[in-house]
A and B are shown apart, each in its own frame.
Chain A
Amino acid sequence: MKEIQFDTIREAVAKLCIDANCLLGDDVVQAFKDGLAVEESPAGKDILNQLLDNEQIARKEMMPICQDTGWAVVWVKMGSGVRVQGGELYDAIQQGVAKGYTDGYLRKSIVEDPLRRKNTGNNTPAIIYADIVPGDGLEITVQPKGGGSENMSEVKMLSAADGAEGIKKFVVDRVARSKANPCPPVIIGVGIGGTFEKCAMLAKHSLLREIGSVHPDPFYAAMEKELLERVNKLGIGPQGLGGRVTALAVFIEAFPCHIATMPCAVNINCHAARHQSITL
């Protein structure tokens, strides 16, 4: 049994919230630079340069890359050999999010009820997805997820008859209809299979992948490549002003499926793919 203290978890989560919101991953910065090399639109190039400048300012000042510091989506892999001492795991995470969003001057964007909409004041609750895995590590990932890109996301219950082309058409069409709204250049998370809600989770989880990584299954690696090319033909470009760089990456996660269904979920992420992890 490995004991991990409640306070340790709380402090770690607080730091992850701040780091994830202020420090953009190297892979995203590289993707902006790669985009600059291929972008033909002058406005598009200007925007990519502004995003690179913004990343530097945010890092230097430890201020949010984007004012929408989003939902705190928290992924946990808890080893079966781990025991939390001094309190409950979920409480430690919630307190950590409240602390991080307060101490880090992050925006409080969560309301307690979807219709009555009173702000909770500390960006809780976090949304926690926890898996119990072998071992004695506690891996925590905080993935801030903003509202604008969420609003452009969608689940569709396709059938096997729709095939791969049905999936591809849905993904490309979803990006086309989104236009400038989700802050292109976007990162596109695609879930295929599972139940209605599992499919959406796959899509969100896929957004944690490093830009430039290749899907381990060559079948889906090829589909990711084709989708990226098709999306970048839409001409939407950075901030939707027209250009070649509409998306930086497409990530697919597939899962077993019911014989009568083929669900597909598209979770759009803006260019600020934010996530930080720690293993305690």
Chain B
Amino acid sequence: MAKKITAPFTAETVKDLRAGDSVLISGTIYTGRDLAHKRLTDSLKAGEKLPFDLDGAVIYYVGPSPAKPGKVIGSAGPTTSYRMDAYSPLLMEKGLRGMIGKGNRTQPVLDAMKQHGAVYFAAVGGAAALIARTIKAAKVIAYDDLGPEAVRELKVEDFPAIVINDMYGGDLYEQGVAKYKKD
């Protein structure tokens, strides 16, 4: 039974989530991947205002394909998260509470999640047309010059994801492989 949660996240939302929970996310999430993360963290370090409020924010690691006429967005599945690992701890320190991507995160990210109270979800890689149906509005709000890598504000309704890492150290990738590995 999937949990329905709303983004931006309150601290309580994050505290309630455990590795393995299936969720349906509704509300506002922001897109960002490699180059956007560099710009966002450079701005933070320079004391500049960010294009969106980080407090409770959820970032989805995605570079969507262009929207066909009459559609809100193109195909929009997750990109691999480890490439954003260098930037995530600082964003969490400044208020980021949720990250959606795919693939495992490194220890500094997991530590920051515990320390600041954040959660990491996986969306299904390659189910990009299916996921796009849950995105009801999309607007570029920063770094338009980056094309697919621009920061977009997405309004989502029942966006499906699964908790990989909760704020308590739970790790679904580790649990899953341990259960099904054969020697």
**Chain A residues packing against B (C-beta within 8 Å):** 40-41, 43, 47, 50-51, 53-54, 57-58, 61, 63-69, 105-109, 117, 119, 121, 148, 151, 179-181, 183, 233-237, 239-244, 270-272
Q: Residue of A at shortest CB range from B147? A: A119
Q: Residue of A at shortest CB range from B130? A: A54
Q: Is the CB of B127 within 8 A of A244?
A: no
Chain A residues, CB < 8 A from B176: 41, 43, 235, 237, 240-243
State A203–B92 Cα separation when bound (angstroms).
Answer: 40
In the complex, 10 of the A-B residue pairs with CB atoms within 8 angstroms, ordered by the A residue number, are: A43-B176, A63-B74, A64-B128, A67-B76, A180-B122, A233-B181, A236-B180, A239-B124, A241-B172, A243-B176
Pick from B65, B80, B82, B130: contact of A107, CB below 8 A: B65
Q: Residue of B at shortest CB range from A50? A: B127
Q: Contacts A240-B173, A270-B126: A41 and B103 contacting too (C-beta < 8 A)?
A: no
State A201–B143 Cα separation when bound (angstroms).
Answer: 36
Chain B residues, CB < 8 A from A241: 122, 162, 172-173, 176
Q: Is the CB of A40 within 8 A of B180?
A: yes
Pick from B63, B132, B177: contact of A109, CB below 8 A: B63
User: Is B37's beta carbon under 8 Å from chain A?
Assistant: no
Chain A residues, CB < 8 A from B172: 241-242
Chain B residues, CB < 8 A from A69: 65
Determine how close the nearest CB of chain A comes to the CB of B44; give it in whole angstroms. 21
Most buried by A among B76, B128, B133, B179: B128
Q: Which range contains the number of B residues in contact with the other chain?
A: 35 or more
State A52–B22 Cα separation when bound (angstroms).
Answer: 19
Determine how close the nearest CB of chain A comes to the CB of B169; give it in whole angstroms. 18
Chain A residues, CB < 8 A from B89: none
Q: Contacts A67-B62, A109-B63, A235-B180: A272 and B126 contacting too (C-beta < 8 A)?
A: yes
User: Is B165's beta carbon under 8 Å from chain A?
Assistant: no
Determine how close the nearest CB of chain B comes to the CB of A232; give it in whole angstroms. 8
Determine how close the nearest CB of chain A comes to the CB of B101; give it in whole angstroms. 10
Determine how close the nearest CB of chain B comes to the CB of A112; give it in whole angstroms. 13
Q: Is the CB of A107 within 8 A of B124?
A: no
State A239–B164 Cα separation when bound (angstroms).
Answer: 11
Chain A residues, CB < 8 A from B125: 66, 148, 183, 239, 270
B140-176 CB contacts (< 8 Å) to partner A: 146-148, 162, 172-173, 175-176
State A61–B179 Cα separation when bound (angstroms).
Answer: 38
Chain B residues, CB < 8 A from A107: 63-66, 74, 148
Pick from A61, A64, A235: contact of B177, CB below 8 A: A235
Pick from B63, B68, B126, B180: contact of A54, CB below 8 A: B126
Chain A residues, CB < 8 A from B122: 180, 239-241
State A271–B124 Cα separation when bound (angstroms).
Answer: 12
Q: Residue of A at shortest CB range from B132? A: A63
Chain B residues, CB < 8 A from A239: 102, 122, 124-125
